[in-house]
A and B are shown apart, each in its own frame.
Chain A
Amino acid sequence: MIKKVQKLAREYFQSGKVEIIYGLKKHNNKVVPSVFNKEDELKDLVISAKEPLLNICRPSKKNIIRLIEEKYPEAKIGMVVRGCDERILIELSKRKQIKLDNIELIGVACNKEDAIACNCPKPYPVHLDIGTKVDGVIEDKKNKELLNKKLSERLSFWQYQFSKCIKCYGCRNACPLCFCKDCAMEQQEWTKTGEIPPEIPMFHFIRFYHLADRCIDCGECEAACPVDIPLLTISKQIRNDIKDLFDYESGLDAEQESPLLTSLDEVPMKEGESK
């Protein structure tokens, strides 16, 4: 499969469709994101389901595409994307963080084992070039467990989970869609500073709400968490709810506006009971 990706990337180079390619690269037995300038560098190009490709680079808080654009102005960028990467690009473009005009996608589908390992609901991009679509993991065990709990049990569960938090901001830093310059999680108007664990559940609520309509379920926050807080459980549940209420899914269409930013006439809301 990687041969096919390299071949397509080479074709993109030769036809002049792209000037640089951004993808994952094998480097000292590690997989790292990298820019490929020339055709013969492409032999190091790899595909992997786990390693993140798109990040917000700190402390400048610019997303990686903007940094590439700064270094190679006006260049056509080819990008080897998995399902999650494509959804991230669409959400970033929807929120005016990047322009999709200069980006040429090479869509790669993940295989079944990877999808199960990542607990991914949609392991393929819409723009699919290489690989075949496999069904994602729809039902999540942790979500089911949460829904089976009573309210008081849920509260004590989260109080235990959040009390482990060491406030490393790993979930926010790893998140490809947490691009705000001034983060509410750092401001003492919202949550007390200089305290571990942070205020429960205010600190985590800020992220959950801000990502309610943009989380694309990539799982970077949970993977980054050093104390294993199951952050995705709530994000996944809210994603389902937004789908129920507004018939909207993040990361599908760059032209479709988030339902929380529109009126009821533009995107109606269905009435429904919370679970």
Chain B
Amino acid sequence: MFEPKILGFCCNWCAYAGADLAGINRNQYSTNIRIIRVMCSGTIDPLYIMKAFQNGIDGVFIGGCHIGDCHYQDGNHRAKKRVAVVKRMLGYLGLDPRRVRLEWVSAAEGQKFAKVINDFVAEIKEIGPNPLSRKK
């Protein structure tokens, strides 16, 4: 059975607090994800995403505040734009764009966080392992 490795970048103010709430509420979610806390989804350099794939990660999850709720006004606006460009670029390079997922999860949405992660893991399981890691 293929167990994907998923890297999650969660913003300090919303998605990370959402993950915390999911834990407090005991909402079960898949253990395939490893979360890195960042201050804002806008800090995610597209090179982080590519580097993760290069090192054999099967999917990258980015969690941020809902549009309009960003602690830094418009950090998540930038994240949305960058991820859109990166997804297309991954497609041209031959990696499935669905391996990157950007979701808005607020600090009060523990249940949503668990659901989003479970969905994402199921999708990655369907897509299969990262072709870049297979060669090693």
Contacting residues, chain B, for A159 (C-beta < 8 A): 94
- A202 close to B81 (CB less than 8 A): no
- B93 close to A241 (CB less than 8 A): no
- B91 close to A275 (CB less than 8 A): yes
Measured in the bound complex, the distance between the Cα atoms of B3 and A124 in whole Å is 54
- A154 close to B97 (CB less than 8 A): no
Contacting residues, chain A, for B46 (C-beta < 8 A): 209
Contacting residues, chain A, for B131 (C-beta < 8 A): 152, 155
Q: Does B47 contact A (CB under 8 A)?
A: yes
Residue of B whose beta carbon sits closest to that of A187: B47
Measured in the bound complex, the distance between the Cα atoms of B91 and A233 in whole Å is 13
Q: Does A206 contact B (CB under 8 A)?
A: yes
Known: A184-B47, A199-B54, A238-B88. A205 touches B81 (CB 8 A): no
- B84 close to A264 (CB less than 8 A): no
Residue of B whose beta carbon sits closest to that of A201: B93
- B89 close to A238 (CB less than 8 A): yes
Residue of A whose beta carbon sits closest to that of B85: A212
Stretch at the interface among B17-25, B70-78, B115-123: B70-78
Pick the 6 closest A-B CB pairs, nearest first.
A155-B94, A154-B94, A263-B74, A263-B77, A264-B77, A274-B88
- A158 close to B93 (CB less than 8 A): yes
- B94 close to A151 (CB less than 8 A): yes
Measured in the bound complex, the distance between the Cα atoms of B54 and A206 in whole Å is 12
Q: How far is the CB of A7 from chain B (nearest CB, A)?
A: 45
Number of cross-chain contacts by CB at 8 Å: 91
Name the one of B78, B82, B95 contacting A151, with C-beta atoms under 8 angstroms.
Answer: B95
- A274 close to B77 (CB less than 8 A): no
- Binary B-proximity of A133-173 (CB < 8 A = 1, otherwise 0): 00000000000001000011111111100000000000000
Q: Which of B45-90 contact A (CB under 8 A)?
A: 46-47, 50-51, 54, 67, 73-74, 77-78, 80-82, 84-89
Contacting residues, chain A, for B73 (C-beta < 8 A): 263
Q: Does B2 contact A (CB under 8 A)?
A: no
Q: How far is the CB of B91 from chain A (nearest CB, A)?
A: 4
Q: Does B109 contact A (CB under 8 A)?
A: no
Q: How far is the CB of B53 from chain A (nearest CB, A)?
A: 8
Q: Which of A230-264 contact B (CB under 8 A)?
A: 233-234, 237-238, 241-242, 245-246, 259-264
Contacting residues, chain B, for A264 (C-beta < 8 A): 67, 74, 77, 80-81
Contacting residues, chain B, for A41 (C-beta < 8 A): none
- A146 close to B92 (CB less than 8 A): yes
Q: Does A208 contact B (CB under 8 A)?
A: yes
- Binary B-proximity of A171-211 (CB < 8 A = 1, otherwise 0): 00000000000001000001000000001111001101100
- A234 close to B93 (CB less than 8 A): yes
21 A-B pairs in the complex with CB atoms less than 8 angstroms apart: A154-B92, A158-B94, A201-B50, A205-B47, A205-B50, A205-B89, A209-B46, A209-B50, A212-B89, A233-B92, A245-B84, A260-B78, A260-B82, A264-B67, A264-B77, A264-B80, A264-B81, A265-B77, A269-B81, A274-B87, A274-B88
